[in-house]
Amino acid sequence: MQFLICKTYFKDSLLTTYARSLSGYDPAYLLPGLPEAEFAKTFDEATEISSGRFNSVFPYLWKIKKFLNIGSEKRLKEASSRLRQFAKNIIKEKKQELSKNSSLESVDLLSRFLSSGHSDEDFVTDIVISFILAGRDTTSAALTWYFWLLSQNQEVEKEVLREIKEKSESPVYEEVKDMVYTHASLCESMRLYPPVPIDSKVAKHDDVLPDGTVVKKGARVCYHPYAMGRLEVLWGSDWEKFRPERWLESATDGANKNGKWSFVGRDPYTYPVFQAGPRICLGKDMAFLQMKRVVAGILRRFKVVPVAEDGFEPVLVAYLTSKMKDGFPVRFEERSD
């Protein structure tokens, strides 16, 4: 079986996943006809405009447009209003559901937030939007580049597939947690193509960096995970190679006596894909869990083949996340084995 996957598939599937795990709400973005999702479209527009603010050479321009409520800032205001209304509707429905059945046992996070006493609507609305924003685009970006790298590295794909077939068809949490090689391959993919290619922090107080650089209160300090993942001083002379083994130790290395791989992580300051310090990404474990489940579900049944000419190299477009220009058109070939 062969078909073309649209470039928004990962984002819409993850938006469905996050919406359901957060609130129990199913936006039905994965219907067979793949209808255009208005909420997803609005989310993309708001994200792109917000990203433009960060990358603006002349920040005062967007501030003027915001003051005058014109152009992109007017569209951002309208998109933000629609997103907040969408989130508030979900919260309203969930409150009604909980009021009718106070003993409702629900696994979604929104029910737990509301049941634990978080009644401030603006606070809960921010939580809903932040949760979807943090998980949807970043995870879909990571998976897009991951499947591209797998298509170019057949030996890695074979090893990932071997590990997947050792698990059940619908792997439970413990099985997913034990997918060490797949975990390493995802880390390696995000080293080369981090979901957030560049990030920044604003100094709350005057400070001095370890190298003596003075940072004044209010100064913006940027760091570049995309560039850091390609530094020879951090990753060696073979930094350009997609090699999951750099994250692993084998039985021959004395890692264990069962002949299996053992994962060896890097400190977050060398590999800041999930941030570092006291504010490390809270969704890190959930992101890996979801990505491994998606990878296992797809590769067990299909081979992902790029629909592109030989020699094609995708172009990275850095918004808030590492997007692939024009998406990643592929063909799914059903596995015969």
Residue-level pLDDT at 105 = 56
**Residue 81: CATH number of its domain:** 1.10.630.10
Cα-trace Rg, the chain:
22
The domain total for the chain is 1
Would you give per-residue pLDDT tens digits along the chain (337 residues)? 444 444 444 554 444 444 554 555 555 555 555 555 677 778 878 878 887 887 777 888 999 999 999 999 999 999 999 988 888 888 888 888 777 776 555 556 777 777 777 667 888 888 878 777 766 678 888 999 999 999 999 999 999 999 999 988 777 778 888 899 999 999 999 999 999 998 888 899 999 988 999 999 999 888 999 999 999 999 999 999 999 999 998 755 544 444 577 999 999 999 999 998 888 887 888 889 889 988 999 999 999 999 877 778 899 988 778 888 888 888 889 988 6
Residue-level pLDDT at 33 = 56
Tokens of 125: 């609305």
Note down the domain range covering 51.
2-334
* Angstrom distance (rounded) from CA 217 to CA 214: 10
Residue-level pLDDT at 167 = 86
**What is the CA angle 316-319-325, rounded to 5?**
35
* Angstrom distance (rounded) from CA 134 to CA 43: 12
Residue ranges of the annotated binding site for heme are 281
Q: How many CB atoms lie within 10 A of CB 54?
A: 15
Residue ranges of the annotated binding site are 281
Tokens of 10: 């990962």
Residue among 307, 262, 258, 284 at smallest CA distance from 195: 284
Residue among 288, 285, 268, 273 at smallest CA distance from 143: 288
* Angstrom distance (rounded) from CA 336 to CA 6: 24
Give Cα 156 to chain centroid, integer Å.
Answer: 21
* Angstrom distance (rounded) from CA 248 to CA 243: 10
